[in-house]
Structure 1
């Protein structure tokens, strides 16, 4: 498996995505925005995704460890590394997780939350993701989306939305992400595909997948053509070019003018 990766910040703030690859593994993490709210942690989201990614890659170095078990182990180790922080805070640094790992003639995949793994089959495309977060607090979400991005009204509505959303995070009636407890690994989506049935695979944060799912500016076929012709960097360039036509979020309401964007593109 050959893997090409790219990650870029969506603006002047530090990149809260994390992407890495090894000969048989690709990982994308997308840190959850704090909207300026207290987290109870002195380290911050970029620290969290970097440490979770490193621990997950280390756990996956053992071939017979399942993706789910590796994630649980990584979550436990990261939590143990900053017990001095208030890990019970509902805003403790958190992230989505998307992983693929080749195991001989098979490809295992795992997603936790809405960073997708997209499989390009011989004739069609399969998107593996968990969109439970999209159904949470629709009224507050709509309030955010009625304002132009980067305005004072938008920022305040986003703070109210994120504050309320935190109360549903990692609860039975809400949605699940990687944070301070290995319990989150019990809520992943996992599956396996025979490599012979695949042309390629893209692991990405939603800062990239929105080109198809939210903007409707490309098809998955066009996404994979761009990845083959220009690599992950060219795909992120396409996302940024589309966003530049709507900088204030009027056509496509969103939380940021441009989100952090990461891709791992896997071919055989």
Structure 2
């Protein structure tokens, strides 16, 4: 397996709230989220701290528990992250920092995947077709965007709402998961939503994104989305730029 990735903070932003960890046979991509300005999160730490803690804990799980299921490993990583700040922060606060998680791992003859919240994975098959694993539950909350803060609080890590890595280890078991034969996969693309706006906002196809990563590397996707943001702007309810991460794997 060959893994390449690039991650970049949004222009003008000092810190990147995305995070990537990799090993010989796995990669995980995280995208942190924080409470809006003026909302008390109950946590003394910032989002980069959270994703670094969660990513590091997940890397340890992936490296040392090679036979564990991905939901078990993500759940254990959430528990370890909670333990790291349980004595200093209010983990019951519904506005506490959180993160998406996308994991891809080769385990013998199988490729396992997990997608928790909106950091999707696209699998490129040897026959040229694509399978996109996209947890779009944040797009299907009632009432349409922009969502109110009260709605997000009531929906986070609740049945019928959406699931994310925060302070509920059981959220890992609500992720989209599965396995495919390694012999049927030629490539895989993991993205944060700072890159998937190429599809969601600007009308490009998943095939175009995968082809670009395959021919020009994942960094090309970030340069592409920045150009689109400059040229075409953003929807009125969204920020113009976001942290952006792309990881590309080949076999």
Same fold (TM over 0.5): yes
**CA offset at residue 35 of structure 1?**
1.8
Give 2:105's aligned residue: 101
SS in 1 for 2:223: helix
**CA offset at residue 137 of structure 1?**
4.2
For residues 166-177 of structure 1, what are the structure 2 equivalents within 5 Å? Answer: 166-177=153-164
For residues 1-268 of structure 1, what are the structure 2 equivalents within 5 Å? Answer: 1-13=1-13, 14-36=15-37, 37-61=39-63, 62-83=65-86, 84-121=88-125, 122-139=127-144, 141=145, 144=146, 161-216=148-203, 218-247=204-233, 249=234, 252-268=235-251
CA distance in 1, matches of 2:143, 2:226: 27
Give 1:153's aligned residue: none
**CA offset at residue 163 of structure 1?**
4.7
Q: Which structure 1 residue ranges, 4+ long, deviate > 4 Å from structure 2? A: none
TM-score (norm: length of structure 1): 0.87
**CA offset at residue 253 of structure 1?**
4.0
**CA offset at residue 49 of structure 1?**
0.7
CA distance in 2, matches of 1:242, 1:105: 39
After superposition, give the CA deviation of every residue in 1:23-56 in whole Å (9 maximum; x if it has no partner): 1111111112422121100001111011000000
CA contact (8 A) 2:189 2:246 kept: yes
Quick check: 231-240 or 253-262, which moved more? 253-262
Give 1:155's aligned residue: none
- After superposition, the CA RMSD in angstroms is 1.5
CA contact (8 A) 2:34 2:96 kept: no
SS in 1 for 2:41: coil
CA contact (8 A) 1:52 1:75 kept: yes
CA contact (8 A) 1:19 1:263 kept: no
SS in 2 for 1:50: helix
TM-score (norm: length of structure 2): 0.93
**CA offset at residue 59 of structure 1?**
0.4
CA distance in 1, matches of 2:155, 2:123: 30
After superposition, give the CA deviation of every residue in 1:119-161 in whole Å (9 maximum; x if it has no partner): 011221111021111122434x2xx4xxxxxxxxxxxxxxx73
Show structure 1 runs of 5+ residues with no match: 145-159
**CA offset at residue 96 of structure 1?**
0.8
Q: Does the C-alpha gap of structure 1 residues 162 and 8 become closer, same or farther in structure 2, counting only changes over 3 Å?
A: farther
After superposition, give the CA deviation of every residue in 1:85-104 in whole Å (9 maximum; x if it has no partner): 00000011101110000112
CA distance in 2, matches of 1:44, 1:101: 28
